[in-house]
Amino acid sequence: MHTRPTRPGTGKDFFADKNVFGIVLEVPNAVLGPDPRVGVWGRVLVPHDGRLVQGDRAGRPGIDNNFNQNDDDKRVWNQQEPSKDRELFLDKFAHVFEHGGHPREQAVALAEGLLPDLLTYDCTNADGFPNGRNLTDDVINLGIAQLSDGAVPHDGLAPHDDPRADSPFLGDPH
Residue 21 has pLDDT above 80, yes or no: no
> pLDDT tens, 130-140?
888 887 888 88
Q: How far apart are CA 92 and CA 90, in angstroms?
A: 6
Comparing CA positions, the residue from 43, 28, 27, 36 lying closest to residue 131 is: 36
pLDDT tops 60 at residue 149? yes
CA 88 to centroid of chain Cα atoms: 19
Q: What is the pLDDT of residue 7?
A: 47
Confidence of residue 5 (pLDDT cuts 50, 70, 90): very low
Can you tell me the distance from the alpha carbon of 138 to that of 157, in angstroms, rounded to the nearest whole number? Answer: 9
Other C-beta atoms lying within 10 Å of the C-beta of residue 138: 18
pLDDT tens for residues 77-91?
999 999 999 999 999
* Single pTM value for the model: 0.79
Which residue in 110, 116, 92, 91 sits closest to 149, CA to CA? 110
**Confidence check: pLDDT of 145 > 90:** no
**More confident site: 96 or 172:** 96
The string of pLDDT tens digits covering residues 29-59 is 889 889 989 999 999 999 999 999 999 999 9
Beta carbons within 8 Å of 84's beta carbon, 6+ residues apart:
none
Of 48-52, 107-111, 136-140, 159-163, the one with minimum mean pLDDT is 159-163
Q: Do the Cβ atoms of 77 and 64 come closer than 8 Å? A: yes
Contact in structure between 7 and 156 (CB atoms under 8 Å):
yes
The phi, psi pair for 47, rounded to 5°, reads: -70, 135
pLDDT at 109 exceeding the cut of 90: yes
